Structure 1
């Protein structure tokens, strides 16, 4: 009776666990607003790289060697500027947030872009070179104020690795638009808007406005977006930052792999046009490849996001690198006999333009896949550091990663230039092409298709130490 009474009086209780808090997904408007900044950022990065040498040599009358030095000095400065901006934005993240840096970077980048293409008519080429070097240095600094916090924000918009991958996918779609506008149309737009200095100046005004608006949308978006922020602990700057980055083995592994891979990619970009002129003898095919490579981004980003829910980021990154290397090697077989060989051995008619389009599309798809995974894993390494140390170092991580990217894209062309010279390749003065020896053409093919493919595949050796997803 007592036992029954006790059972009735004291019923068994169930301890309820607190409900799992699910972070709400980032809204579509925020994703679009964040991603839109990539249009202006990519225009700012690509247009000076491709157009400034032409503008300085053919419009301002600066000797080629002097123009090269004038461009090299700001590039050397930016290697130090990016980490400095990253550290500065980290120190102010809790009090100011990232938005003020984005706003200042957007405004100054738009103005500096105009400044670069508004050079006064100096009597001395040295004075013109000094002006362009200073203008490019100011423009590069302004761009760092935007680009470094822009990458940092991606790691602070969500705690979810999958959500960050989706956010970055939107960014890369807008990036493809920026590539088309900057790399594809800057020179034709300048020529269409006027002759000589006036055409370049008007192009600078137009593109500067596009940069300002595009980056400004991102500033306005981040300004009203709640980010993950942490108070800055003792030792969170200077030597403490460097030691934290070095101890983050996954970051060291990823950044080393990314650096080597981009160096290989820079080698390919250096001789892209030369390959189509001297080997394929078809400059028109270059436009086909570029268009389909850019279009592949629209397929690659949703596809990669979908695959990332089923496979690890490591696996997709490796797939992207090896796929890029494979299609880079495939250019060895490109040429007028390729479609005939396919028709004879496989029995499928393959027009040359269709093969170029397919190769460009798949090459671009694998490039987009590995790039998205690299940026997504960067945010994962930043989150790991944040959870491990309690410090907010997203700016420093992004600054170092961005600086390595710039060094890689400078090192790739330098290596290629040396290899071409050793192979006997002769430069053309003015427009047109000059006859090349068979050894020079072989070197050109190796620099475009073989060396970069092998180097990029070998970059995965450093990736073995990556311990993330």
Structure 2
């Protein structure tokens, strides 16, 4: 018999959730500011800038499953995941402090600096993020408790994204020039380090369950995970939506500066998009408890798509209307962050209960690889749209753009993400894990 699940202490929920300070800052600031840094400060052409943003994240797609497998097999008195929080997290903060700190060099050398430092930082992030995401499946067996745990994580994530995404452009603009980017990078690195240390300390008393790691090599494990239909459907949905939100985040600075002609509007747009997650994540959690996670995820996806579609009117609509549509997208975005994070440990736990072997690290490695790929392809897709529209890069910013580039910015920020979110619903509608599925797997588990 499997013992009845118990509620996690509030201190553990908060401690675990604090890791989102690191993941939120790293997931937001490069996507928001690295592409403009390359095109409008270093003067890198849009297509090359998109490749520089994409390639280190593409490396993570390969690396993440290995990081998960390694943490599955780690034996340590602190547990298999927590040592990696500290190792990967410290490397993440150090790498980010250097990312925007390139000395003045020829353009090719500056571009190479960004590429290599971003590659090293993304590697460290993999060894923090994958074990971090793996932990919920081992912290509790409860379907609903995982939702509550994710509520803490997403609420802190939303607050971090709000603070980091709103502060980073403001610091850059206040200091000005390349020094503005350097100061911003140091500040964000310090914020990430706070999240890393808080997660490590806050989970020291977490009730981690011991489950035997899955047999076979990594390739065997990946084959088994890839054959898990519900996980595959959920992952595909999430990756397509990560691609959409990655494109929107990459477009914030361009939409504000070039289309709305108000550089300060970038902070308002960002707050409109991310702010609702801070307020509405508990509400989406209650929706999930009443109608199920899949239905709640579908509803939030529709709102995200409608809001993104509305922002495609930015060239002609009044500014408050653009902000309102961005906020509507943010309401949907809140649910689109919380629900899949709560559904992932369900899929991993169902597999572990049925087989008696834990592949949670491999599951989360594949998951974070997909998320990383989507968030990396988003700016890459936006950069491609800019290039097609004839966007003009510069070393000073403020260059007048042709009408075709303004149209490209608007489509890349609004219409393209809306279409991607709508397309993602095709996979989500076939997902079948429910609270009853999880309960059944627990009864038949070893």
Query: 1:415 maps to which residue?
Result: 381
Aligned partners of 2:171 and 2:223: how far apart in 1?
A: 47
The alignment partner of 1:24 has SS state of coil
Partner of 2:444: none
Residues 341-367 of structure 1, C-alpha deviations (whole Å, 9 max, x = no match)? xxxxxxxxxxx53x4554333321111
The Cα of 1:442 is off from its aligned counterpart by: 4.7
1:304-348 CA deviation, whole Å, 9 max, x = no partner?
11112211111101111111111222234557666xxxxxxxxxx
Q: Which of structures 1 and 2 has the larger relative contact order (alpha carbons within 8 angstroms, sep 6+)?
A: 2
Q: How does 1:91-170 map to 2 (within 5 A)?
A: 91-92=73-74, 96-119=79-102, 125-170=107-152
> What do the CA deviations read for 1:249-280 (whole angstroms, capped 9, x no partner)?
00011111112222233333343343445544
Give the secondary-structure state (helix, strand or coil) at the position aligned to 1:383.
Answer: helix
Measured after TM superposition, the shift of residue 393 of structure 1 is: 1.3
Answer yes or no: is the 8 Å Cα contact 1:173–1:297 preserved in 2.
yes
1:8 is matched with none
Which stretch has the larger CA shift, 224-233 or 313-322? 224-233
**Residue segments in structure 2 that go unaligned for 5+ positions in a row:** 435-446
Structure 1 pair 124/359, CA: closer, same or farther in 2 (3 Å)?
closer
Q: 2:417 aligns with which of 433, 452, 458?
A: 452
Partner of 1:221: 202
> For 1:369 and 1:72, how far apart are their aligned partners in 2?
26
Per the alignment, residue 347 of structure 1 pairs with none
Describe the shift of the 1:457–1:107 C-alpha distance in structure 2 as closer, same or farther (beyond 3 A).
Answer: same
Go from structure 1 to structure 2 and tell me whether the alpha carbon gap of 1:276 and 1:51 turns closer, same or farther (over 3 Å shift).
Answer: closer
**Which of 259, 262, 265 pairs up with 2:242?**
262
Instruction: Provide the rounded CA distance (Å) in 1 between the counterparts of 2:214 and 2:87.
Output: 26
* CA deviation vs aligned residue, 1:223-272 (integer Å, no higher than 9, x gap): 3211122112432x322211211221000111111122222333333433
Q: What is the CA RMSD across the aligned residues, in angstroms?
A: 3.1
Cα pair 2:252 2:270 within 8 Å, conserved? no
Cross-structure match for 2:20: 38
Distance 1:130 1:258 in 2: 31
Query: Equivalent residue for 1:231?
Result: 212
Residue 466 in 1 paired to residue 431 in 2? yes
Match of 1:223, SS state, is coil
- Specify whether residues 34 and 337 from structure 1 end up closer, same or farther in structure 2 by C-alpha distance, changes over 3 A only: closer
SS at match of 2:148: helix
State the 1:409 CA deviation.
2.3
TM-score (norm 2): 0.85
Q: Which residue of 1 aligns with 2:336?
A: 370
Q: Which residue of 2 aligns with 1:205?
A: 186
Segments of structure 1 that go 5 or more residues without pairing to the other structure are 1-17, 339-351
- What does residue 402 of structure 1 align with? 368
C-alpha spacing 1:415/1:378, structure 2 compared with 1 (3 Å): same
Task: Name whichever of 314-323 and 257-266 sits farther off.
Answer: 257-266
Name the structure 1 match of 2:306.
326
Which residue number corresponds to residue 379 of structure 1? 345
1:292 aligns with 2:275: no
2:358 to 392, 397, 417: 392
Say if 2:20 is the partner of 1:23.
no
1:395-448, Cα deviation, whole Å (9 max, x unpaired): 1111111111122223233334444544x44425343253534x6555544433
Q: Does 1:183 align with 2:165?
A: yes
CA distance in 2, matches of 1:21, 1:394: 20
CA distance in 1, matches of 2:266, 2:41: 26
Query: Distance between the aligned counterparts of 1:200 and 1:285, measured in 2?
Result: 19
Q: Structure 1 residues 291 and 226 mapped into 2: Cα distance closer, same or farther (>3 Å)? A: same
Shift of 1:67: 6.0
Q: How far did residue 185 of structure 1 move?
A: 1.8
Larger Rg: 1
Matching of residue 317 in structure 1 with residue 300 in structure 2: no
Cα distance in 2 for partners of 1:218, 1:150 equals 9
Distance 1:396 1:205, change over 3 A: same
TM (normalized to structure 1)? 0.82
Task: Label 1:362 to 1:86 Cα distance change in 2 as closer, same or farther (>3 A).
Answer: same
| Distance change (3 Å), C-alpha of 1:410 and 1:97 | closer
CA distance 1:428–1:196, shift in 2 (3 Å): closer
3-state SS of 2:18 partner: helix
Paired residue for 1:13?
none
Contact 2:306 2:328 in 1 (8 A): no
Kept in 1, the 8 Å contact 2:46–2:384? The answer is no
* CA apart distance, 1:43: 1.5
Partner of 1:90: 72
SS of the equivalent of 1:448 reads helix
